Amino acid sequence: MKIAVLPGDGIGTEIVAEAVKVLNVLGLPLEMETALVGGAAYEAHGHPLPESTLKLAKDADAILFGAVGDWKYDKLDRPLRPEQAILGLRKNLGLFANFRPAICYEQLVGASSLKPELISGLDILIIRELTGDIYFGQPRGRRIASDGHFPGVEEAFDTMRYSKPEIERIAHVAFQAARKRKAMGKEGRVTSVDKANVLETFQFWKDVVTEVGQQYPDVALDHMYVDNAAMQLVKEPKRFDVVVTGNMFGDILSDEASMLTGSIGMLPSASLNANNQGLYEPSHGSAPDIAGKGIANPLATILSAAMMLRFSLNQEEAAQRIEAAVQKVLAQGLRTADIYSEGTTRASTCEMGDAVVKAL
């Protein structure tokens, strides 16, 4: 099983090192090879996604990714910015389905900004379409004033667009995920989030999702406008099971959902293509504000490694072992700074990784 390890920038290198430590003690035949990506790759090769890194990623069964970005690159031309590496990987590998589970661990109920009764037992899955929508639609651009008197940008525009096959494939992913969850005792319901009352693109989205849903009579389907979904996520998050939505709404709602559970440092994510090849990364960014201090929470990355074993490497048992080890460490009271509360024991990034290894 070949894994491309791309730590990236900021805390990326610190948290990925802990996940690699965990993977190394599972006793599985994992071949891990590391490469530069993001700002680190730009510094060394002049590009955030060098050919050699892309090749390694393409040839691997799965990619373990840290995070990319730093404010110091904000002045670079857009194609050279670290974040372009993620878009490049998504595009080149056809990674169209982003999975973000938001699970509230009982030991961390107090770390959420919501009341404990609202999030205790929370276990929802946000599925975001990754390759279409307004982020990629053409034409896009800035129009320059032409009267010569006041030269400069007059207006800017982007195009929101989805094709039927794009909606169909993400809808199938959502219905299948809900079906699997139902088999594991969850509700088995898909909530499709749109803005059909205002946008043609999302009326079409709603129609196509409804059509695909007819092939899954065992899975319930409901529809919700995105503004209401944003509200319901903080009002009554447990009303959801699987949420499926487009690229932009998913970008926003998945970050909102991730904060329900306390810390973004706890939340893994997976981006999959049609062959189950995937990129696995924590939901957070490179956190330049705490980089190099040894205080970042590595659990989101360790849990991303568990998702990698489950979805791309077919190692369900090993995935569950990691998840159980994380729960055990939390039950022991160990906490990195972001999830620390009185009465618990403060741990560094490295101590947290070591504790998971020991629990395994």
Q: Is 241 a catalytic residue?
A: no
CA distances, 353 to each of 23, 177, 258, 322 (Å): 11, 29, 21, 11
Q: Which among 123, 207, 251, 354 is annotated as catalytic?
A: 251
Q: Is 195 a catalytic residue?
A: yes
Site for ligand NAD in 208-237 (CB under 6 A): none
Query: Helix, strand, coil % (nearest 5) of the chain?
Result: 45, 20, 35
Handedness of CA 6, 356, 283, 210 (dihedral sign): positive
Q: Using CB under 6 A, which of 213, 250, 285, 353 touches ligand NAD?
A: 285
Q: Give, in degrees to the nearest 5, the angle at Cα 159 between 154 and 165.
A: 175
Site for ligand NAD in 109-148 (CB under 6 A): none
Among 255, 247, 256, residue whose Cα is nearest residue 159: 247
Q: Which stretch binds ligand NAD (CB under 6 A): 94-102, 139-147, 241-249, 285-293?
A: 285-293
Taking the least distance from each CB to ligand NAD, the nearer of 68 and 177 is: 68
CA distances, 208 to each of 77, 131, 276 (Å): 37, 17, 23
Q: Which stretch binds ligand NAD (CB under 6 A): 53-61, 145-153, 277-285, 325-333?
A: 277-285
Q: Is 105 a catalytic residue?
A: no
Residue 265 lies near ligand NAD (rule: CB under 6 A): yes
Taking the least distance from each CB to ligand NAD, the nearer of 133 and 338 is: 338
Residue 246 lies near ligand NAD (rule: CB under 6 A): no
Q: Using CB under 6 A, which of 32, 83, 196, 360 touches ligand NAD?
A: 83
Q: Which stretch binds ligand NAD (CB under 6 A): 92-100, 153-161, 289-297, 309-317?
A: 289-297
Q: Is 225 a catalytic residue?
A: no
What string marks each residue from 40 to 79 as x (binds ligand NAD by CB under 6 A) or -?
---------------------------xxxx---------
The DSSP code sequence of 164-190 is HHHHHHHHHHHHHHHHHHHHTTS--EE
Q: Using CB under 6 A, which of 18, 166, 241, 281 touches ligand NAD?
A: 281
Round to the nearest angstrom and report the end-to-end CA distance of the chain.
20
Residue 335 lies near ligand NAD (rule: CB under 6 A): no
Residue 80 near residue 48, CB atoms below 8 Å: yes
Q: Which stretch binds ligand NAD (CB under 6 A): 145-153, 164-172, 295-303, 315-323?
A: 295-303
Return the structure tokens found at 16: 């990925």
Minimum gap (Å) between residue 232 Cβ and ligand NAD: 24
Long-range contacts of 293-296 (CB under 8 A, 24+ apart): 294/14, 294/348, 294/349, 294/350, 295/336, 295/337, 295/348, 295/349, 296/11, 296/14, 296/15, 296/265, 296/336, 296/349
Q: Which among 91, 123, 135, 328 is annotated as catalytic?
A: 135
Return the structure tokens found at 179: 């079906």
Residue 297 lies near ligand NAD (rule: CB under 6 A): yes
- Taking the CB of residue 125, how many other CB atoms lie within 10 A of it? 22
Q: Which among 61, 133, 195, 280 is annotated as catalytic?
A: 195
Q: Is 70 a catalytic residue?
A: no
Among 273, 290, 309, 307, residue whose Cα is nearest residue 103: 307
| Catalytic positions | 135, 195, 227, 251, 255
| Positions in the binding site for ligand NAD (CB under 6 A) | 11, 15, 67-70, 83, 86, 264-265, 281, 284-290, 296-297, 300, 338
